[in-house]
Chains A and B, each alone.
Chain A
Amino acid sequence: MARFLLRRLAGRLLLLFVAASCAYLLAAGALNPRANYEGRRPPPPAEVVDAALDAYNLNDATPLAQRYAVWVSGVATGDFGRTWDGAPVTEELGRRIGVSVRLLLPGAVVGCVGGVLLGAWAGSRRHGPADRAATAVSFVLISVPVVVVAVSLQNAALWVNQGTGVELLRATGEYTPGLEGGAGAWLLDRSRHLVLPTLTVALPQIALYSRYQRNLMADQVDADYVRTARAKGLTRRRALVRHALRTALAPAVAYFGYSLALLLTSAVFTEKVFGWHGAGEYLLDSVGQGDVNAVAAVCCFGAACVIAAGFLVDTVSFLLDPRVRTA
Chain B
Amino acid sequence: MRLGKRRVLPVGAALLALATALAGCGTGEPGRPPSPDELPSASINAVDRALLADGGTLRWGINEFPTQWNPHHAAGNLGTVDTVLRGLLPAPFSTDSEGQAHPDPDYVTDVEVDTEPRQVVTLTLNPEARWSTGDPVTWRDYASMAEALSGADPDYQVLGTVGYDRIERVRAGEDEYQVVITFAEPFADYRSLFSPLLPEEYTESPEAFNEGYLDAIPATAGPFETGEIDRTAQSVTLRRDGDWWGDPAKLDRIVFRSLAPDALDAAFLDGGIDLYALPVDSGSYERVRDASDGEIRTALAPDYRHITLNGQSPVLDDVDVRHAVFLGIDRSALAESAFSSVDWPPSVVGNRFLMPNQPGYADNSGEWGEYDPERAARLLEEAGWTAGEDGGVRTRDGEPLRLRFVVPQGFAPARSEAELVQAMLGEIGFDVEIEGVPGDQLFGNYVLPGNYDLVAFVNSGSGFPVSEFLYQWSDAVAGPDGEPQWRSNVGRIGSDRIDEALAAALEPRDDGAAAERINEADRLLWEAGHTLPLYQRPQLFAVRGTLANAGAPGFGTLDYADIGYTAES
Residues of chain A having any CB pair with chain B under 8 Å: 31-32, 34-45, 47-49, 51-52, 83-87, 92, 95, 98-99, 145, 147-148, 150-152, 154-155, 157-159, 161-162, 167, 170-178, 268-269, 272-275, 277, 281, 284-285, 287-288, 290
CA distance A99 to B233 in the complex (A): 9
Q: Is the CB of B237 within 8 A of A162?
A: no
> With the chains together, A92 CA to B459 CA distance in Å?
33
Which residues does chain B contribute within 8 Å of A167, judged by CB atoms?
A: 270-271
Nearest A-chain residue to B237, judged by Cβ: A178
Interface 1/0 per residue, B39-82 and A, CB below 8 Å: 00000000000000000010100000111100000111100000
Contact B23 A175 (CB under 8 A): no
Task: Decide: A148 near B471, CB < 8 A? Known: A162-B292, A172-B272, A277-B234.
Answer: no
CA separation between A41 and B531, bound complex, in Å? Answer: 15
Q: How far is the CA of A173 from the CA of B470 in the complex (A)?
A: 42
- Pairs A–B under 8 Å by Cβ, sample size 13: A32-B440, A40-B77, A43-B443, A99-B232, A145-B19, A147-B15, A148-B19, A148-B23, A151-B19, A158-B266, A172-B259, A177-B237, A272-B16
Contact A41 B235 (CB under 8 A): no
Contacts A154-B266, A173-B272 known; 18 new A-B pairs at CB < 8 A? A35-B439, A40-B159, A52-B75, A99-B232, A154-B23, A162-B292, A170-B270, A171-B272, A172-B270, A177-B257, A178-B255, A269-B12, A269-B16, A272-B260, A272-B262, A277-B258, A285-B8, A287-B9
B154 at interface (Cβ–Cβ under 8 A)?
yes
Q: Which residues of A contact B416 (CB under 8 A)?
A: none
Distance of B294 from chain A, by nearest CB (Å): 11
Contacts of B36 in A (CB 8 A): none
Binds A, one of B134-142, B223-231, B316-324, B325-333: B223-231
CB-CB < 8 A to B233: which residues of A? Answer: 173-175, 177, 277
In the complex, A151→B18 CA distance in Å? 10
Q: Which residues of B contact A272 (CB under 8 A)?
A: 12, 16, 260, 262-263
Contact with A along B130-171 (1 / 0, CB 8 A): 000000000000000000000100110111111000000000
B528 at the interface (CB under 8 A from A): no
Q: Verify A151–B232 contact, CB threshold 8 A.
A: no
B312 within 8 A of A: no
Interface assignment of B20: CB less than 8 Å from any CB of chain A: yes
Asked if residues A45 and B161 are in contact (CB atoms below 8 Å), the reply is: yes
Given A145-B19, A158-B269, A284-B12, check contact A39 B471 (CB 8 Å).
Answer: no
Interface centre among A39, A49, A161, A287 (most CB of B within 10 A): A39
Say whether B409 faces chain A, with CB atoms less than 8 Å apart: no
4 shortest interchain CB distances as A-B pairs: A288-B8, A41-B1, A177-B235, A275-B263
| B215 close to A (CB within 8 Å) | yes
**Chain B residues positioned under 8 Å from A170 (CB to CB):** 270, 272
Question: In the bound complex, how far is the Cα of B166 from the Cα of A28, in angstroms?
Answer: 39
Across-interface contacts of A275 in B (CB, < 8 A): 259-260, 263, 266-267
Shortest CB–CB separation between residue A282 and chain B, in angstroms?
Answer: 11
Query: Which A residues touch B154, using CB under 8 A?
Result: 47-48, 51
CA–CA, A171 and B227, complex, Å: 25
Closest to A278 in B: B232
In the complex, what residues of A have CB within 8 A of residue B260's CB?
A: 272-273, 275, 281
B468 interfacial contact with A, CB 8 Å: yes
Residues of chain B with a CB closer than 8 A to A49's CB: 74
B259 touches A41 (CB 8 A): no
Q: Which residue of B lies closest to A96 (CB)?
A: B232
Whole-angstrom CA separation of A32 from B6 in the bound complex:
14
**Interface presence of B469 (CB below 8 A):** yes
Interface residue from B24, B76, B214 paired with A155 (Cβ < 8 Å) = B24
Out of A32, A39, A178, which one reaches B235, CB within 8 Å? Answer: A178
Please provide the chain B residues from 463 to 495 with a CB less than 8 Å away from any CB of chain A in the complex. 468-472, 488
Known: A41-B472, A42-B162, A272-B260. A151 touches B16 (CB 8 A): yes
Q: Is B343 an interface residue (CB 8 A)?
A: no
Whether A171 touches B12, Cβ cut-off 8 Å, given contacts A43-B488, A178-B253, A275-B260, is no
Is B442 part of the contact surface with A, judged by Cβ < 8 Å?
A: yes
User: Chain A residues near B471 (CB, 8 Å)?
Assistant: 42
A21 CB, min distance to chain B CBs, angstroms? 23
Q: Are A34 and B255 in contact, CB atoms less than 8 angstroms apart?
A: no
The reply to whether A39 and B8 form a contact with Cβ atoms under 8 Å apart is no
Q: Mark B281-302, 1 if CB is under 8 A from A, else 0.
A: 0000000000010000000000
Among B1, B266, B470, the most chain A Cβ lie within 10 Å of the Cβ of: B266
| Identity of the chain A residue whose Cβ is nearest the Cβ of B5 in the assembled complex | A288
Tell me the bound Cα distance from A37 to B253 in angstroms: 33
Chain B residue nearest to A144 (CB atoms) is B19
Within 8 A of A (CB), among B239-274: 253, 255, 257-260, 262-263, 266-267, 269-272
B3 within 8 A of A: yes
A273 in complex: contacting residue of B59, B211, B263, B488, CB < 8 Å? B263
Cα-based distance from A277 to B258 in the complex (angstroms): 9
